[in-house]
Chains A and B, each alone.
Chain A
Amino acid sequence: MQTEWTASIRADELGFRVEAKALLQRVRLHADQGQLVGLIGPNGAGKSTLLRAIAGVLRPQEGAVWLEGEELDSLPAKDVAARMALVPQIAPYTHGFTARELVLMGRYPHLGRFQIEGAADEAIAREAMELTETDEFADRTLDTLSGGERQRVFVSRALAQQPRVLLLDEPTANLDVLHKLRVLDLVRRLVDEGLTAVAAIHDLGMAARYCDRLVLLNGGRVLAEGPPEEVLVPEIIESAFGVRSAVYRDPVTGSLTVSLIAPADENGSHPPEPVAKGGNGRAAQHPQDSRTVGPGPRADEL
């Protein structure tokens, strides 16, 4: 527990309720400098709520957040924004701002009240946009961009904020496979250079591949916490997600991979082997299914 006190960001026993419903219960999380911590968990587990609480966007009823050893509540909002950035899950409606203007907003916490962004800020914004390959549509308004392009613009804005702690809420949810890898590679590289990051990541394989530690949330509580190998085990995955799975090292990338087999509640009504599904006529019509069923002519060809 020594590291907890020197952590860049630390959430201590956070509790958050909306009326009678507890969205967070005694949640503890910490990320040290140069660490990427992945938040995983089913829908409604409290991932976004936790990130928003850490960002200071919502105020938990219990517990406290510590940013670089200082309690978040005791710091001026602008001071927090100069050190910590949040990439929102759902990009808000942007009212005709161009991508460049939006990224430049990331400089606001670093400017005086009457200061206008200068050449240095422009350069920082440009660099941030180059990193996410959004510079090509810098002058387009955000409403003319696709969901994935917009998401990358919001990542750029967070980078332009030059934070020491970066919080990302499903940063890759709308991205195509190429940009999913590019964005996570970028975050990983920045973390290796000393950034601290906490990211809610939907894709368990991606979370395992990029994160130093994972925190598994379920029903507003931390169900498991630790290195990917310790968190991503079939029993834990089943108890959190209700899905039976197999976990193994991918022979190509060498990273931990989770194969989702079937919802756990179908256990009783179906024969134990998932392949047995191929026996029913409807499933056999899907070529994908027939391939996973195994010993067919196609498997022999391979």
Chain B
Amino acid sequence: MSPDGTLPDWTEGGEGLAFARCRSCGDIQYFRRPFCPACGSEDLGVEAASGRGTVHAVTVVARAPSPDLQAHAPYGLALVDAREGFRFMAHCPPEGIAIGDPVRTTFRAFGTGLVPFVTPENHP
């Protein structure tokens, strides 16, 4: 499912959050390129993230960017600091979530694909 055919990744329709770690300098990237932006090495290892992290920022989209997505509004959007050391954008509940909350990740259908959906760890 991932570009190297081993790990599921939501950007390709799979239920997973993948990232890459540079085997040369250790730099971690979420926005994937075929090289390390820190040192230029092309020796990257793709890993599956746990989906656990902490909310860094959060908003609620009341006005969606297109009429087809407006049916989903309001929807929460968060920037989440993953335990593995990268930041990712995810959907979240529009209420009951705040900066600093520990979260876990599932995936839900949105638009034409799957997107990460984070909920507070203490929610059932």
Q: Do A and B bind each other?
A: no
Chain A contacts to B: CB under 8 angstroms: none
